[in-house]
Amino acid sequence: MINPTAAMLVIGDEILSGRTRDSNMHHLAGELTKHGITLAEARFVADDPDAIVASVRALSQGYDHVFTSGGIGPTHDDITADSIAAAFGVSIDVRADARALLEAHYARTGTELNDARLRMARIPAGATLIDNPISIAPGFTIENVHVMAGVPTIFEAMVASVLPTLTGGAPLLSQSLRVERGEGEIAAPLGQLAKDFPDLSFGSYPFNHNGAFGTNIVVRGQDGAKVDVAMTELARMVQQ
């Protein structure tokens, strides 16, 4: 079974400058894996309209789903919504349903819905809203692109809103084996095992613990029984 594919586009100068550490890709990868969608690529771009437009167009054409994070807030550098609209060649404006959400939220909190906050109700034509139970300002989906906030708690809530609407495949299963031998020693048997099980993936991750070298070997696949067989054979091979 071939699972749907996805890409992530992380947007923001603060990420690329090192000021902010991105955690959203890690969260998305885990959730997509459980849902049976393969995260196949991740890109990081600055707050640059041309870069965002080019990346959205390329990723949208290359994968079944694209998830973006960042740049949909109330300030001048929040340019993601406009860039997404430009990427798909559609107009963007304050939309009644998004505005109603913000009006109700700010009325409850006794806060003014000023022009800056109203920018968060600007939605590209043809998009559907993504629920935001944390701060109410919605994300949106247009074609196969899901546009979400960069704040981790809000991003995670939006992912939880979107994933049930997407058709996934078989979840990716994995098992690992810790071997007190370096990669150079286990490379040959591991390579042979990869040939014997072409529909599984084998990852080799070296470590150095208190001066002792070793390798963590991870076997991944959609067929749990086949992963079990491969792990048994792996244990036999590396112990020889």
Q: What is the pLDDT of residue 183?
A: 85
What pLDDT, on the 0 to 100 scale, is given for residue 172? 83
Vertex 232: Cα angle to 229 and 235 (nearest 5): 150
Nearest to 103 by CA among 121, 76, 125: 121
Q: Report how far residue 206's alpha carbon sits from residue 232's, in angstroms, rounded to the nearest whole number.
A: 20
**183-196 and 224-238 helices, crossing angle to 10°:** 140
How many residues are listed for the chain in this entry? 240
Structure tokens at 176: 């690992």
Domain spans in the chain, listed from the N-terminal domain onward:
5-165, 173-238
Query: Using CA atoms, how far apart are residues 200 and 175, in angstroms rounded to an integer?
Result: 11
Element (H, E) at 88: helix 80-88
At residue 120, the pLDDT reads 96
Kindly state which CATH superfamily the domain 5-165 is placed in: MoaB/Mog-like domain (3.40.980.10)
Question: 124-146: b or e for each residue (b if 16 or more CB lie within 10 Å)?
Answer: beebebbebeeebbbbbbbbbbb
- The two three-digit tokens of residue 121, written as one number: 């109700």
Strands (DSSP E) along the chain, which ranges? 5-11, 38-45, 65-69, 92-94, 122-124, 128-130, 139-142, 145-148, 173-179, 201-209, 212-221
Instruction: Output the pTM of the full model.
Output: 0.85
Beta-carbon count within 10 A of 99 CB = 16
Please report the pLDDT score of residue 162 as a whole number: 97
What integer pLDDT is reported at residue 1 of this predicted model? 58
Q: Which pLDDT score is estimated for 127?
A: 98
In Å, how far are 98, 115, 138, 174 from 94, measured between CA atoms? 7, 11, 12, 45
> Per-residue confidence of the chain (240 residues) as pLDDT tens digits?
589 999 999 999 999 999 999 999 999 999 999 999 999 999 999 999 999 999 999 999 999 999 999 999 999 989 999 999 999 999 999 999 999 999 999 999 999 999 999 999 999 999 999 999 999 999 999 999 999 999 999 999 999 999 999 999 888 888 999 988 888 888 888 888 899 999 898 988 998 877 778 889 999 888 889 999 999 988 888 776
Which class is 173-238 in CATH? Answer: alpha beta
pLDDT of residue 97: 97
- Output phi, psi for 177, to 5 deg: -135, 125
Query: Please, what is the angle between helix 24-35 and helix 152-162, to 10°?
Result: 20
- The helix/strand/coil state of 33 is helix
